[in-house]
A and B are shown apart, each in its own frame.
Chain A
């Protein structure tokens, strides 16, 4: 995570150009992802780094100049010099206590899956209280219920599938109510799990006639599974059956042979393996590495009526997300979120999901540290991609202004502003290109992208 590294490293670029903001280009990022970021010892240390990073950026608008300066005098000298005329200590303290929230007691709804990790862990691990909030995280039965409870203002904010705030704002499957996403929860962290009896049927071309479960119609799971099937020549609307099934029922249905498999959020995939009813076909990161999954969403009304509460909430989430992005914290997080009050799942299952060392259900142990990852920045190109898939599969009829909707719902600009205030270094642009199963997506040309698919629902 860019924001949390040493700003006195001459080799580091404070103006981000790749996913994590740490590298000059996406290619350089790819090469460096194998290298883990430096662990941060304490909260204060991290804040200090964050604030120092902002100060350095202010002092050296030209990155080249900063690097030259650091290279010539050395990092420790630079830090000493900087501390002399800029009170880093005070600035760090000021950052930690921002504007007083209008409303302190908040309710945040969540669905018990590992995607909600930052939202959940922020309660037992004290991220909400650190930002001056008293948040009650409330477990909710399903996506439709969480939507209705958030619209009804029983919840101030909620964990939602990344496409849901777009769908709600557009009035798909609900009345149009402007919603906003200040932060993405997790990237990756899903998987296609198949019933044990299909362990020799690994080629999707043989999957005709099978029944799959997805958590919700407006979910990344739906779009990713459809995308994956269509790339293998299977029309998801006619060749297979897709059923919207609440995650807890998925394992039970798989055991009862009602479905052949599912593309589901984790811990559900790992739970099916743990109970010996299914195996991991592929991780969702093999379809699109770095795809968003769930989001932290609130209504526009809440944002305008309680801007400070909303900002504090977003800060707490961004803070928790940063903490969760560190591999060495994952075990501790698994233990914090496993009790019945939160996810209510065996610690072993959560640990396998979060640490990425997992049983694949076929007798092998696999390791993939990026099985699930956490990155809060709400890329607007993510939103555009989801809108193209809504259009592709007939959820959106007629024309849609991709850019306008994405920018209205995915608060990249506000998040950027907030992150800058916090002293974090957000990416320079809110649009980035990425590849899904090897096919590059250009957020500037959504219509062409939709038209380029052979399999889609005729509209």
Chain B
């Protein structure tokens, strides 16, 4: 059996699964016809759910039509509270990017230091263990209160949630570089700085990248929640705004897009990981 035929069959199964899912979705959300009789004057004031028994959940056709509408004009701007999906995603990605890069700048050097010093590693461990499991959103009120700026607070929340996996993985990667390599470097009288960059960094890189990949996933998860909380702009705000209007169709579209963007971010990091992986 060749790998191309396996891929083909896997693709077929994927398509069948998708079709089955859409079919069931469509059947489950069909309208049930008029539920109760009501005067036309009254019916005019009521929504379709009440008058025609239309399911509160949109069907795949509704979602598809709405999605097409969004895809056709992704960058419209109708004022501060209504912008196209492209702009909203741009805001979210910019926030995640900023918070994440700051976290990289802090976590990797810090992780290096901690990883190279067993003393620091032990001393800081209790703090890291306590801070790591805190839900990033729990920081939000504190951030809003102290930073006094909601967009910086959102970036701070991304920063704080993406720092821990990177920090821990860097510490672990640096600390578990094989002793023989370091000893060889030492025998060759390589200086500390050079040793860090030419021996430890390449050896620890796969572990560090894995940490970064976990972090970007978490950061993307958190931005949606953070934006729902703070509002203003971003895909999370879009979800909240459409929820406000009980527009489940738009919420489903947003969910879909959040998934796609999350996958893309993950794939980018996965590619970087492959670039630095080495066979032992």
Query: Hey, which bits of chain A sit against chain B, CB under 8 A?
Result: 112, 136-141, 145, 148-149, 151-154, 248-249, 251-252, 255, 271, 273-276, 339-342, 344-346, 348, 352, 357-359, 363-365
Is B104 an interface residue when CB atoms closer than 8 A count as contact?
A: no
Distance of A297 Cα from B79 Cα, bound (Å): 23
User: CB distance A141 to B49 under 8 Å?
Assistant: no
- Chain B 140-181, CB-CB to A under 8 Å as 1, else 0, gives 000011001110000000000000000000000000000000
Task: Indicate if B253 sits at the interface (CB-CB under 8 A).
Answer: no
**Do A112 and B244 touch (CB < 8 A)?**
yes
Do residues A364 and B42 form an inter-chain contact, with CB atoms below 8 A?
A: yes
Residues of A within 8 A of B237 (CB): 141
Additional A-B contacts beyond A152-B150, A274-B47 (10; CB < 8 A): A148-B144, A249-B243, A275-B47, A275-B246, A276-B50, A340-B241, A341-B79, A344-B82, A344-B244, A359-B46
Number of inter-chain CB pairs below 8 Å? 103
Cβ-based interface call for B192 (8 A): no
Residues of B within 8 A of A (CB): 35-36, 38-39, 41-42, 44-47, 49-50, 56, 78-82, 144-145, 148-150, 228-232, 237, 240-246
The answer to whether A339 touches B82 (Cβ under 8 A) is: yes
CB neighbours of A136 from chain B (8 A): 79-80
Provide the residues of chain A in CB contact with B243, threshold 8 Å: 248-249, 252
Closest Cβ of chain A to B240, distance in Å, is 6
**Most central of B36, B228, B242, B245 by chain A CB within 10 Å:** B245
Cα A310 to Cα B246 in complex, Å, equals: 35
Asked whether, in the complex, the Cβ of B240 is within 8 Å of the Cβ of A141, the reply is yes
Docked pose: A141 CA to B140 CA in angstroms: 14
The CA of A276 and the CA of B42, in the complex, are separated in Å by 12
With a cutoff of 8 Å between Cβ atoms, the chain A residues found around residue B149 in the complex are: 152, 154
Is the Cβ of B45 less than 8 Å from the Cβ of A275? no
Contact B241 A149 (CB under 8 A): no
Contact between A363 and B39, CB atoms less than 8 A apart: yes
For B56, give its contact among A137, A148, A275, A345 (CB under 8 Å): A275
- Most chain A CB inside 10 Å of its own CB: which residue of B81, B144, B240: B81
The chain A residue sitting closest to B41, CB to CB, is A365
- Find the B residue at minimum CB distance from A151: B148
Closest to A120 in B: B81
Q: In the assembled complex, how far is the CB of residue A49 from the closest CB belonging to chain B, in whole angstroms?
A: 33
Given contacts A248-B244, A251-B246, contact A153 B229 (CB under 8 A): no
Smallest Cβ-Cβ distance to A344: which chain B residue: B245
B144 touches A140 (CB 8 A): no
| Distance from B131 Cβ to chain A, minimum over Cβ atoms (Å) | 23
Rank and list the top 8 A-B pairs by shortest CB-CB distance, nearest first.
A276-B50, A341-B82, A359-B45, A141-B231, A152-B148, A248-B244, A340-B82, A341-B79
Q: Are B49 and A352 in contact (CB-based, < 8 A)?
A: no
**Set B44, B240, B242, B246: member contacting A252, Cβ < 8 A:** B246
* Contact partners of B229 in chain A: CB under 8 A: 141, 145
Q: How far is the CB of B6 from chain A (nearest CB, A)?
A: 44
The smallest beta-carbon distance between B246 and chain A, in angstroms, is 6
Interface residue from B42, B78, B145, B150 paired with A359 (Cβ < 8 Å): B42
Report whether B42 and A365 are in contact in the complex, using a CB–CB cutoff of 8 Å: yes
Task: Please tell me if the beta carbons of A140 and B45 are within 8 angstroms of each other in the complex.
Answer: no
CB distance from B58 to the nearest CB of A (A): 13
A149 to B44 Cα, complex, angstroms: 40
13 A-B residue contacts at CB 8 Å?
Answer: A136-B79, A137-B80, A137-B81, A145-B231, A151-B148, A248-B240, A255-B56, A275-B246, A344-B245, A348-B47, A359-B42, A359-B46, A365-B45
Residues on B with beta carbons closer than 8 Å to the beta carbon of A348: 44-45, 47
With A138-B232, A140-B231, A339-B82 already in contact, the answer to whether A344 and B45 are too (CB < 8 A) is no
Nearest chain B CB to A70's CB is how many angstroms away?
A: 45
A339 / chain B contacts, CB cutoff of 8 Å: 78, 82
Complex CA gap A348/B149 in Å reads 37
Q: Which chain B residues border A112 with CB–CB below 8 Å?
A: 244
